[in-house]
Amino acid sequence: MGTFISGWRIQRRVIGALMIRELVTRFGRENIGFLWMMVEPLLFAALVGFIWRYMKGPEEHGVSVIAFVASGYLPLTLFRYAVTRSVRIFTVNSSLMYHRQIKVLDFVFVRVLIEMIGTMMAYLFIAILLISLDEFPVPADLGLFLAGWTLYCLFTFALCLVLAPLSEMSDVLEKIMPVTTYVMIPFSGTFNMVSWLTPDAQKAMYYSPFVHGMEMMRQGIFGDRVDAQWDIKVPIAASLFFILIGLAMCRRVRRRLVVE
Amino acid sequence: MIDCQQVTKYYPLGSGRKKVLNEIDLQIRPGEHIGFLGRNGAGKTTLIKLIGGVELPTSGKIRRRMSVSWPLGFGGGFQGSLTGYDNARFIARIYGQNYNEIRGFVEEFTELGAQLKMPVKTYSSGMRARLAFALSLAIEFDCYLIDEVIMVGDANFHKKCHYELFEKRGDRALVLASHSPELIREFCDRALILHQGHGTIHHDVNEALEIYAAL
């Protein structure tokens, strides 16, 4: 028990130190610093939302187009940033292996955690702004929204845990990553609800782990105005599967990691 | 006590692999000073990295029953894009130390002044060595791992290292990889000669230096 508690303390220290270091290196100390982390998703969600509004009209399937785009695009940025920045994360941070209390898993964990905080801040900001403009509903069920968000983040973390060691083993991954993340957008539930699709497509979407978290978030925001379909078993099972494989792969890559 | 048992390390080389260390057995007891001797590429740095836990052995075991510093060299242990102060802050955080104390020691030991506010990548190798030394001496370890780095720097730096490491912390264990016979002769109780992957331990340092000179 004593070793567990001291281990936990070290772990918390390391995670905290890594997060501060990450924020300082990435955003610097000058001008608005780490607030940049939320500006980018914010701009994207807002601009895409407004463009769609003029292309498709203010509402689609009974919900505001801007609100719908924002609620889909913000989690997607989390996923895209987390995944892109997991590529070769061990090599990039290898100088930190000089300190034995830092483990390779911490890199992936910190990466996803930082994206989670940044996206959540952006989300909060954009939601308050849009609610005051009457373009975004007051969330119908905040608990359900947060549960969906947690599942979405869990699966993102699980995927990063596999992609990070995989990118160290093969250079091919780095090349195919952008196209893969682009192609997966239709399967992520980002810009449509499952219930808008044909029955065959709905069946296929059931197996996409992202969709369930996204549908939960949408129901949490829009309530009964959308017909959400979700099943927490799928993202949880998929996450556990990828975490197990990822842990084994991280261990293997760590053994062979060459540190300058 | 640090116990290395049958430590073997391979590195990838082209399509095959190269054996850098072959079943090295080594015990380092508290307070003991061991010198690593070997020609360039003999595996001194590799063995120090394995003892420090920076890299992991391909096979064999390393047990650490005392606190061991990170290997002190030119590059490792800090991040080039961060300033000297930020590096000190980071070290203080992960080792659970008081930053103000560490900062005071680093300022005094390195004498780098305003340069500490600049990213470490702008430092000369002598300045890096000063910072690396200061950061690891700011944390108290039972065993310090030192890889060549003591050779760079000016007379003033040597004097400070000498005082902090060999006088003030003379009771700690020390692993010193060096090409300098004087340094090994003066400070080490034992020497490990690394040659073609094999390690042989010598209790007579002068004898070890003679063998090393003949390699």
ipTM of the complex: 0.91
Q: Chain B partners of A97 at a C-beta cutoff of 8 Å?
A: 54-55
What is the CB neighbour count within 10 angstroms for residue B23? 15
Tell me what pLDDT residue A191 has.
87
Question: Would you give per-residue pLDDT tens digits along chain A (260 residues)?
Answer: 778 888 899 999 999 999 998 888 777 766 666 677 778 777 877 788 888 888 888 888 888 888 898 899 899 989 998 999 899 999 989 889 999 999 999 999 999 999 998 889 889 988 998 899 888 899 999 999 999 999 999 999 999 999 999 999 988 888 888 888 888 888 888 888 999 999 999 999 999 999 999 999 999 999 999 999 999 999 999 999 999 999 999 999 999 999 87
Assess whether B180 and B202 both reside in one domain. yes
Sheet holding B198-202, edge to edge: B143-147, B173-177, B33-37, B190-195, B198-202
Using a CB–CB cutoff of 8 Å, tell me whether A251 touches chain B. Answer: no
Assess whether B83 and B184 both reside in one domain. no
CB contact under 8 A, A98 and B76: yes
- Contact map slice: A 25-84 vs B, CB within 8 A: 25
Global confidence as pTM: 0.90
Give the gap in angstroms from C-alpha A81 to the nearest C-alpha of chain B: 21
Q: Report domain extents, chain A.
A: 2-256
- Contact map slice: A 78-107 vs B, CB within 8 A: 95-102
What is the CB neighbour count within 10 angstroms for residue A73? 22
CA–CA separation, A22 and A39 (whole Å): 17
Angle (deg, nearest 10), helices A104-132 and A142-169: 140
Tell me what pLDDT residue A32 has.
67
What is the CB neighbour count within 10 angstroms for residue A99? 20
Nearest-by-CA chain A residue for B68: A100
H or E, element range at A48: helix A36-56
Assess whether B25 and B81 both reside in one domain. no
Assess whether B3 and B16 both reside in one domain. yes
Question: Among the residues of chain B, which ranges form H helices?
Answer: 44-52, 84-94, 99-110, 125-138, 155-161, 181-187, 205-214
Q: Which residues contact B60 (CB under 8 A, 6 or more apart)?
A: B4, B5, B6, B7, B8, B23, B24
Contact A147, A221 (CB under 8 A): no
**Contacts across the A-B interface (CB distance below 8 Å):** 60
3-state secondary structure of A29: coil
Look at phi and psi of residue A223 and say left if phi exceeds 0, alpha if psi is from -120 to 50, else beta.
Answer: left
Three-state helix/strand/coil letters over A132-190: HCCCCCCCCCHHHHHHHHHHHHHHHHHHHHHHHHHHHHCCHHHHHHHHHHHHCHHHCCC
CB contact under 8 A, B70 and A20: no
Assess whether B154 and B132 both reside in one domain. no
> Per the structure, how many domains does chain B have?
2
CB contact under 8 A, A259 and B93: no
CA–CA separation, B64 and B27 (whole Å): 10
Assess whether B53 and B90 both reside in one domain. no
pLDDT band at B38 (very low <50, low <70, confident <90, very high): very high
How buried is A153 (Cβ within 10 angstroms: 0-12 exposed, 13-18 middle, 19+ buried)?
Answer: buried
Assess whether B56 and B150 both reside in one domain. yes
Assess whether B60 and B148 both reside in one domain. yes
Assess whether B161 and B105 both reside in one domain. no
Assess whether B114 and B158 both reside in one domain. no
pLDDT digits (tens, 9 = 90+) for B62-109: 999 999 999 987 667 788 888 999 999 999 999 999 999 999 999 999
CA–CA separation, B78 and B162 (whole Å): 22
pLDDT digits (tens, 9 = 90+) for A170-213: 888 888 888 888 888 888 888 889 999 999 999 999 999 999 99
Assess whether B5 and B64 both reside in one domain. yes
CB contact under 8 A, A95 and B90: no
As given in the structure block, the two tokens for residue B88 are 């000190």
Tell me what pLDDT residue B147 has.
87
Choose one of B140, B166, B187: the last residue of a domain. Answer: B140
Choose one of B114, B140, B166: the last residue of a domain. Answer: B140
Q: Which of A30, A98, A103, A169 to mutate to test the interface with B (most CBs of B within 10 A)?
A: A98
CB contact under 8 A, B79 and A20: no
CA–CA separation, A65 and A48 (whole Å): 10
Q: Which domain holds residue B135?
A: 72-140
Using a CB–CB cutoff of 8 Å, tell me whether A17 touches chain B. Answer: yes
CA B164 distance to own-chain centroid = 15
Q: Chain B partners of A11 at a C-beta cutoff of 8 Å?
A: none
Assess whether B172 and B197 both reside in one domain. yes
Question: Among the residues of B74-124, which ranges form H helices?
Answer: 84-94, 99-110
The type of residue at B210 is E
Which residues, in sequence order, are bridge partners of residue B119?
B83
Choose one of B86, B115, B140: the last residue of a domain. Answer: B140
**Vertex A115, ends A111 and A121: CA angle to 5°?**
150
Give the gap in angstroms from C-alpha B69 to the nearest C-alpha of chain A: 8
What is the CB neighbour count within 10 angstroms for residue B210? 12
Q: Which residues contact B77 (CB under 8 A, 6 or more apart)?
A: A95, A98, A99, B70, B71, B91, B132, B135, B136
Tell me what pLDDT residue A144 has.
97
Nearest-by-CA chain B residue for A258: B55
CB contact under 8 A, A96 and B79: yes
